[in-house]
């Protein structure tokens, strides 16, 4: 069993791989894999108990959505010559990170063409038959789908994903020739996203007094990762989550979503839709930045609502330090005990196993 960066856990049963977002098994033994010759995971077949119960559950949309939208920031001003505009841009980034924990960036330096190429490759790989994707020998075991441990619809994520540690992408033997174009595009995108994440993280750290060269200092290619998400259209929508509410267990995440929509973030106890903007990437603060900043920057709960009519795709880059890195606080007195990223991940794994869900930063309060 393995836990992933963002509260993801993977288990193997009867030669089949189950990787999921969050919970550990209670009625896990009840999960049966039904063979499928199509590409979409057999969600309803494997989780028939959950989906027959689901009609009793309230529609998420009834909760009502807040009106506002996360700030939109033009990063072109960071590269410009006008110092006043540069400072205003830095201020916008830091303000959004402490007030929202989420923001959108345009003129981010990652080309439309690269993002479009990545999307094409992403679609191709999800079209592969489910039985092939779920095989543990396929692409280094990085496939996951659904939530095998879910005992109710609220715990279930109607999605599948491939998660690639950045270090593996450049290793040719992880990818057969069949996937050489996927590997090439992913390598380019991972480099571009790493650079952007590094720029943003450094700005946020410097704002709180950090004076080093790179932030986080021990960012690691083995722990940073790219995740390709696919949310197949869902007949139980809008009652079903594409991804259950969670925070990310990293420093920050950069996300490219398609035109479908469905990503919601929490703001002032209300869900706010992060509407698709073809020119923007979405940035969100993760738990480690909230911890390091002593709660100044906010790691905000977000979720994806499944869509009844169309499939949805997104690509996420997670900025993480090495497992040995100490996530101390930038200021004393610190809200949290010192902990390493490895300890944080282990604790997430233990909590998911014992309580069915991630507890997160509050585990490390002083």
Ligand X SMILES: O=C(O)CCC(=O)C(=O)O
Angle at which helices 180-207 and 112-126 cross, to 10°: 130
Say how many C-beta atoms besides its own lie within 10 A of residue 112's C-beta: 9
192 binds, among Fe ion, ligand X, none (CB under 5 to 8 A by kind): none
Residues 193, 317 contacting (CB under 8 angstroms): yes
Q: Considering beta carbons, is residue 4 or 210 the nearer one to ligand X?
A: 4
304 binds, among Fe ion, ligand X, none (CB under 5 to 8 A by kind): ligand X
User: Quick check: 236 and 273 in contact, CB under 8 A?
Assistant: no
Counting contacts by CB under 5 A, is residue 287 touching Fe ion?
no
Q: Least distance from C-beta 121 to ligand X, angstroms? A: 17
Burial 37-71 (b: 16+ CB within 10 A, else e): eebbbbbbebbeebbeebeeeeebeeeeeeeebbb
CB 299 to ligand X: min, Å:
12
By CB under 5 A, is residue 248 in contact with Fe ion?
yes
Nearest CA-CA partner of 357 in 198, 230, 249, 218: 249
In this structure, the number of other CB atoms found within 10 A of the CB of residue 159 comes to: 27
Residue choice 155, 219, 257, 329 for contact with ligand X (CB under 6 A): 257
Query: What is the DSSP-derived secondary structure letter of residue 124?
Result: H
Q: Which range of residues in 109-117, 165-173, 255-263, 343-351 is near ligand X by CB under 6 A?
A: 255-263
55: which residues sit within 8 A by CB, 6+ positions away? Answer: none
Task: Verify binding: residue 229, ligand X, rule CB under 6 A.
Answer: yes
Residue nearer to ligand X on the CB measure, 6 or 118: 6
Please answer whether residues 314 and 229 qualify as being in contact, where contact means their C-beta atoms are separated by less than 8 angstroms.
Answer: yes
Site track for ligand X across 32-71, x = CB under 6 A: ----------------------------------------
Is residue 193 a contact point for ligand X (CB under 6 A)? no
Residue with the shortest CB distance to ligand X: 314
Site size toward ligand X (CB under 6 A) is 12
Binding site for ligand X (CB under 6 A): 6, 227, 229, 243, 248, 255, 257, 263, 302, 304, 314, 316
């Amino acid at each position: 069993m393995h836990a992933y960066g963002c509260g993801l856990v993977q288990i193997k049963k009867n030669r089949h791989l189950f990787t999921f977002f969050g919970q550990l098994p209670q009625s896990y033994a009840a999960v049966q894999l039904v063979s499928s010759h199509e590409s979409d995971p057999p969600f309803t077949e494997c989780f028939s108990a959950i989906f027959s119960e689901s009609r009793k559950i309230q529609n998420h949309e009834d909760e009502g959505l807040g009106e506002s939208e996360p700030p939109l920031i033009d990063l072109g001003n960071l590269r410009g010559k006008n110092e006043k505009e540069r400072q205003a841009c830095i201020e916008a980034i830091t303000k959004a990170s402490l007030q929202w924990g989420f923001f959108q960036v345009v003129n981010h330096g990652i080309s439309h063409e690269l993002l479009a190429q990545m999307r094409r490759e992403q679609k191709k790989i999800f079209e592969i038959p489910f039985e092939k994707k779920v095989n543990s020998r396929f692409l280094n075991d990085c496939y996951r789908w659904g939530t095998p441990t879910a005992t109710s619809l609220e715990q279930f994520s109607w999605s599948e994903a491939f998660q690639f540690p950045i270090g593996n992408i450049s290793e040719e033997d992880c990818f057969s020739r069949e996937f050489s174009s996927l590997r090439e595009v992913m390598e380019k995108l991972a480099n571009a996203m790493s650079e952007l994440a590094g720029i943003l993280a450094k700005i946020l750290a410097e704002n709180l007094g950090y004076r080093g060269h790179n932030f986080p200092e021990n960012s690691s290619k083995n722990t940073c990762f790219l995740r390709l998400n696919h949310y197949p259209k869902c007949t139980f929508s809008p009652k079903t989550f594409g991804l259950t509410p969670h925070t990310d267990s990293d420093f920050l995440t950069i996300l490219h979503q398609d035109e479908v929509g469905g990503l919601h973030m929490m703001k002032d106890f209300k869900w706010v839709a992060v509407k698709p903007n073809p020119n923007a990437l979405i940035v969100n603060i993760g738990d480690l930045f909230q911890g390091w900043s002593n709660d100044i920057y906010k790691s905000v709960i977000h979720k994806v609502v499944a869509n009844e009519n169309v499939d949805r795709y997104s690509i996420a880059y997670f900025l993480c330090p090495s497992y040995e890195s100490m996530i101390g606080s930038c200021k004393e007195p610190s809200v949290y005990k010192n902990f390493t990223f490895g300890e944080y991940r282990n604790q997430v794994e233990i909590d998911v196993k014992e309580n069915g869900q991630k507890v997160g930063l509050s585990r490390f309060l002083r």
